[in-house]
Amino acid sequence: MRRNNNRRDNAKKERIVMLASSAFVLAALTMTGIYMKSRDVESEDNGYTIDFTALEESVDDKYQEIAQNTEPNLTNEPEMLEDDLDYPPMEVGSGLVEIPGLTDNLMEEADLAHAEQLPDISEMTEQPAVEPIEEMETAQEEEPEETPEAAEHEEASSQDVVVDRVLHFSETNGLLKPVSGDTVIPYSMDRSTYFSTLDQYKYNDAVMIGAEEGAVVSACAEGRVINIFENEEIGHAVTMDLGDGYLITYGQLNGINVTLNSYVAPGDAIASVAAPTKYYSREGSNLYLQLTKDGVPLNPESLF
């Protein structure tokens, strides 16, 4: 029972304290409000006073001044804008400055003045033209007549041009003997023959004709030079195409006087006999002669 009574007493005390505090706070706020109202509307700050009512009046005056200045010009008198420019009006129409709506007329006037200074193109192009036919006749009259010396020169030049010819050869046509002399080593493909320098027997797909060193070698038939070469066995050599698959090779030559792709006729001098190579030192100087048909060796001596 005592505990319950104590709790009730404590609760009453707390309520009384809260009410007293609230009353004190309300009284303090009331006194503060009364003090503030008692002061003047204007407040002092370091000796300067701000008057907001004067500021509002000056803003109204500015609004009225702007409205009066922006009223449209009801009179027909043009405004003199040129007085406000820092440069003459013609500078605006120059080629460096263009203002749409302001410089259009000035640009057109400048173009017209420039066009009046240009010469009339139609007067420049009205000169009579020379007829092409007359020019051609004049050129033909001025051409010099061809002299006999010039004709001979042109004929000689045309002879220097090599024209491809179709060559034909048949075994029935035969071959001219290229040099005068006896056969040193005969053609032999069916059995071996003796080579004295090599001291051995072997097959021979060509014929070696003995001739003195320096003897002239003549073409056996018409042909075209297709190869000029040198090797260790037959020395300097020339191969000619006779046509229809026939090729002939001349070996152990000296002083070759034909060129590649040149044509020779039967009996033309093509070279001379050279000193024998080491393969034919015992046989002496001779001409190596080989004939083939589609790569197969033939006996040229049988066609002399």
Considering 102-116, 136-150, 157-171, 228-242, the range whose residues carry the highest mean pLDDT is 228-242
Tell me the pLDDT band of 293, cut-offs 50, 70 and 90.
very high
More confident residue, 167 or 57: 167
3-state secondary structure of 75: coil
The CA distance from 166 to 185, in Å, is: 34
Phi/psi at 230 (5° precision): -150, 140
Domain boundaries, the chain: 1-37, 183-303
Token look-up 């500078």 returns 91
User: Which residues have CB under 8 Å from 228's CB, separation 6+?
Assistant: 236, 237, 238, 239, 256, 258, 259, 260
pLDDT score at 106: 55
Considering the chain, what is the average pLDDT of its residues? Answer: 76
Q: Which of 138, 141, 184, 139 is nearest to 279 (CA)?
A: 184
pLDDT score at 144: 53
The CATH class of 183-303 is mainly beta
- Residue-wise pLDDT for 117-150, tens only, equals 655 555 555 555 545 555 555 555 555 555 655 5
- Residue-wise pLDDT for 40-83, tens only, equals 544 544 555 555 555 556 656 655 665 665 555 445 444 444 44
